[in-house]
Amino acid sequence: MTSAPVISAKSLSLTFETNDGPVHALKDVSLDIEKGDFVSFIGPSGCGKTTFLRCMADLEQPTGGSMTVNGVSAADARMARAYGYVFQAAGLYPWRTIGGNIRLPLEIMGYSKADQAARVARVLELVELSGFENKFPWQLSGGMQQRASIARALAFDADILLMDEPFGALDEIVRDHLNEQLLRLWARTEKTIAFVTHSIPEAVYLSTKIVVMSPRPGRITDVIESTLPKERPLEIRETPEFLEIAHRVREGLRAGHADD
């Protein structure tokens, strides 16, 4: 692939001014994400992985450097609805059904009624929640709610999916299941995914590219290209290849910590 990167950050910095002096949430971060990549950001808290994701989404404004999304600024990309964002909490509206929640961004973006219905049905099928359209969020388990929130982010066909620790609050069994589903979904939709996590197995299992970050100041310490095949059964996590990548991620995280 020779096309321009979908997301490109060049020596991006973000400094928060606090009462205790400036905090360097991000310092000199440069990274290109290609079309169809599944990129995980991993690192201890305070390493700026979420901040970096929020910069891509134009939810934070960098104080230095430049960032393009789909070739335009992050702000223009947001206004063009270039990405779907999945937060740590599902954040479904309790007064709307699952279908109603997924319809919400479509209503805001002005899709026709018929189109809305078709899209809701399609993304519900994609996250394997068909039949739950008329249920209220409280009638669903935490894992199902998070799947509904992924469906909501997919509904308006953005090419980019930004996910901020979407499975962080779920237990490991549910998480395994959702990881498998997410890989299937990624294969079917060919989206570009940026995924924040602090689980090493999750990062290695899902990604084509793993970005290891470290704090004070928030920066990238290693970028690991995964050698795993695109087809990944859960058992792949027992293979030597998998363990070697996991080992390298762990080394990267340790290196980032060596100076404190």
Partner 1 sequence: MQGQPALRGGYFWAREAGGRVVRQSFFPVLTVVGLLLVIWYAAAVWLNADWTYDKATRSGEVVTTTSLIQDTWAQKKPKLPAPHQVAAEIWSTTVGKNITSKRSLIYHSWVTLSATLLGFGLGTVLGTLLAVGIVFNRTMDMSVMPWVIASQTIPILAIAPMIIVVLNAVGISGLLPKAMISMYLSFFPVVVGMVKGLRSPDQMQLDQMRTWHASAAQTFWRLRLPASMPYFFTSLKIAMAASLVGAIVGELPTGAVAGLGARLLAGSYYGQTIQIWSALIMAAALAALLVGIIGLIQRATLKRMGMAQ
Q: In the complex, which residues of this chain contact partner 1 (CB under 8 A)?
A: 57-59, 78-79, 81, 83-85, 87-89, 91-97, 104-105, 107-109, 136-138, 156
Please, what is the minimum distance in Å from the beta carbon of residue 258 to partner 1? 34
Nearer residue to partner 1 within complex by CB, 64 or 91: 91
CA distance 193 to 186: 8
- Nearest to 211, CA basis, from 73, 7, 14, 15: 7
Please, what is the minimum distance in Å from the beta carbon of residue 247 to partner 1? 35
Nearer residue to partner 1 within complex by CB, 96 or 248: 96
Residues 193, 39 contacting (CB under 8 angstroms) = yes
Nearer residue to partner 1 within complex by CB, 111 or 237: 111
Nearer residue to partner 1 within complex by CB, 16 or 254: 16
CA distance 81 to 158: 7
CA distance 127 to 181: 7
Nearer residue to partner 1 within complex by CB, 103 or 209: 103
| Rounded alpha-carbon distances, angstroms, from residue 63 to 21, 128, 180, 198 | 15, 41, 37, 25
AA letter at 217: P
Number of H helices and E strands in the chain, helices first, is 8, 10
**Measured in whole angstroms, how far is the alpha carbon of residue 104 from the centre of its chain?**
20
Nearer residue to partner 1 within complex by CB, 80 or 187: 80
Please, what is the minimum distance in Å from the beta carbon of residue 79 to partner 1? 5
Unique residue bearing structure tokens 């709610």: 145
CA distance 239 to 30: 32
Please, what is the minimum distance in Å from the beta carbon of residue 69 to partner 1? 12
Please, what is the minimum distance in Å from the beta carbon of residue 59 to partner 1? 5
Please, what is the minimum distance in Å from the beta carbon of residue 149 to partner 1? 9
Backbone angles phi, psi at 25, to 5 degrees: -70, -35
Give the DSSP letter of residue 54: H
